């Protein structure tokens, strides 16, 4: 009976793990498979991101090494639940990290799908320049951002990224396209990534949002269906631990 109970617990824990509330992405140069990547704005050494489906906490960080004397000062980023974000125009949020000033800021818009940094000034794929779909700004909503980092490390590398509560992003109704397609910042067991670091960044803002985002060099990290790992909720870990403990006791009793 003990064996049956422990097996059931382990099975339940494994099933719960498969639908865990948080998904994590990690990439390490030289270990992880290479995506489409360009290091013109700095050589990416490692990257990590996460999305919690319960709390809507979203994070994204990259650590860069100088490439031809260049390090990034910011980036723009869009992620999807699997497919390559490029071409999406009513589904995704796009993030702009500005680390060109003493206090870094993050601005979030609806992504217009173009292969360029235009969503902060043009929110739609339609011909001409349409009004931007402004979603969130750390200048206007600082409490939604737990961390915004542009850190020069002791080894000469630089880490850029942020952690935030993306609840307002997830509940946002996009200005263009079909609102039922909106996934915002969310991803699950797969993630699609369109990520462009930039150097020599120059920015300005109007009413808390970007009015200028220009740069000298850009790189990219580009691809789809990268595998993530799931983080089980605490209750799952307790169940798994109890099951393994019961199994160990059963083995000892024999």
Taking the C-alpha atoms of residue 148 and residue 162, their distance in angstroms, rounded to an integer, is 4
The predicted pLDDT at position 232 comes to 80
Residues of the chain scoring pLDDT < 50: 1-18, 235-245, 247-248, 251
Sheet holding 22-28, edge to edge: 145-152, 158-165, 57-65, 43-52, 22-28, 229-231
The predicted pLDDT at position 233 comes to 61
- State pLDDT tens for residues 66-101: 999 999 999 999 999 999 999 888 999 999 999 999
Angle of helix 2-18 relative to helix 234-253, nearest 10 degrees? 150
The predicted pLDDT at position 30 comes to 95
| pTM for the predicted model, two decimal places | 0.85
Computed on alpha carbons and rounded to an integer, the radius of gyration of the chain in Å comes to: 21
The predicted pLDDT at position 162 comes to 98
The predicted pLDDT at position 253 comes to 54
The predicted pLDDT at position 170 comes to 98
- Tokens representing 188 are 């699950």
- State pLDDT tens for residues 111-133: 999 988 899 999 999 999 999 99
């Amino acid at each position: 009976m003990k064996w049956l109970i422990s097996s059931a617990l382990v099975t339940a824990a494994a099933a719960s793990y498969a639908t865990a509330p948080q998904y994590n992405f990690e990439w390490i140069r030289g270990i992880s498979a290479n995506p489409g990547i360009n290091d013109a704005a700095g050589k990416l050494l490692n990257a990590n991101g996460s999305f919690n489906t319960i709390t809507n906490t979203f994070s994204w960080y990259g650590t860069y090494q100088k490439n031809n004397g260049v390090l990034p000062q910011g980036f723009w980023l869009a992620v999807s639940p699997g497919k390559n974000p490029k071409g999406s125009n009513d589904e995704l949020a796009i993030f702009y990290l500005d680390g060109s000033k003493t206090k870094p800021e993050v601005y979030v818009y609806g992504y217009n799908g173009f292969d360029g940094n235009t969503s902060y000034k043009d929110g739609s794929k339609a011909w001409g320049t349409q009004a931007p779909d402004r979603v969130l700004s750390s200048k206007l909503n600082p409490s939604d951002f737990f961390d915004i980092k542009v850190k020069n490390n002791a080894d000469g590398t630089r880490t850029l990224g942020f952690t935030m509560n993306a609840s307002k992003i997830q509940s946002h109704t996009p200005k263009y396209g079909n609102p039922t397609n909106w996934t915002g910042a969310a991803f699950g067991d797969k993630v699609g990534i369109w990520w462009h670091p930039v150097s020599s960044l120059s920015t300005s803002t109007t009413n808390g949002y970007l009015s200028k985002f220009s740069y000298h060099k850009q790189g990219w990290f580009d691809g789809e269906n990268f595998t993530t790992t799931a983080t089980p909720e605490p209750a799952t870990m307790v169940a798994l631990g109890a099951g393994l403990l019961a199994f160990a006791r059963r083995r000892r009793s024999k």
